[in-house]
Amino acid sequence: MFGLVTPTLRPPIHFFEDWMVIVLLVLLSLMAYFNVVYPTKMKNVFKAFRSDIAMRQFMREETNIPRPYLFLTFQHAVLMGLLWVLFYQAFIYSTALPWWVSLVSALSVLLIYGLKWISFQLVKWFSEGDFTLTEYQYRTFSTNRLLAILLYPLIILAALSSIQHAYIYIGGTAIVIGLLISWRILKGAWVAFTNNVPLFYIFFYICTLEILPVLIGVKLIQLLSNP
């Protein structure tokens, strides 16, 4: 009399996963805390991006890494991990990835910039504390702190928007990251050039401190993200 009805699975309407709620809420809570307790440090992230004079002043004043900067370093890695998961679903493999892929991606980002930091120390040791390299190191991690703040709303838009719009937000976010990193490299190269650093060393710095760690990290993420 009554036939069995075969359930039809609804197609996904966005890329948002339940586990992302916890991650985003924790980051928002910590960001609010540090913004209340250390409001000046959070504002300095934007000031350092807008003004080289302000950035050099902060370099002299910050003998130790402030706590908000450490938090933003981890937030940058976590958000980059989330972005990789969204990017993978949108453009590479149209299926949901487990939460641990985001964790591995975040750890890979930390590994990349850990390698960068070690490379900076080695090159500075060989160059006997070149100030332009010290400034380039500060600019590198300062840009990451800025991205940690800018990426948060972009990640939410990309995750919660309809799939049709998510492609735009995810692609646009990747472009923003690419532009900021390109600006950082070009700005650092220009500062080195104006301080009479030979072009060979500028090219060597870019290959050693920028390209090589990224290639290692991206390859690691690709190997561990294959479903």
Q: Output b/e per residue, 10-21; b: 16+ Cβ within 10 A.
A: eeeeebbbeebe
Please check whether residue 94 lies inside any domain of the structure: yes
Phi/psi of residue 119, nearest 5 degrees:
-65, -40
Please say if the pLDDT value at position 86 is more than 90: no
Looking at residues 62-91, what average pLDDT do you find?
A: 86
Please check whether residue 40 lies inside any domain of the structure: yes
In angstroms, rounded to a whole number, what is the distance separating the alpha carbons of residues 142 and 31?
A: 16
Give yes or no for a contact between 75 and 27, defined as CB atoms under 8 angstroms apart: yes
- Confidence at residue 148, expressed as pLDDT on a 0 to 100 scale: 92
Element (H, E) at 168: helix 163-194
What is the pTM for the complete model shown?
Answer: 0.81
Please check whether residue 217 lies inside any domain of the structure: yes
Please check whether residue 41 lies inside any domain of the structure: yes
Please check whether residue 58 lies inside any domain of the structure: yes
Range from 27-31, 82-86, 88-92 that averages highest in pLDDT: 27-31
Please check whether residue 8 lies inside any domain of the structure: no
The residue with greater pLDDT, 197 or 81, is 81
Please check whether residue 157 lies inside any domain of the structure: yes
Domain that holds residue 82: 18-225
Please check whether residue 168 lies inside any domain of the structure: yes
- Confidence at residue 78, expressed as pLDDT on a 0 to 100 scale: 93
Closest CA to 190 of 52, 74, 33, 17: 52
The total number of structural domains in the chain stands at 1
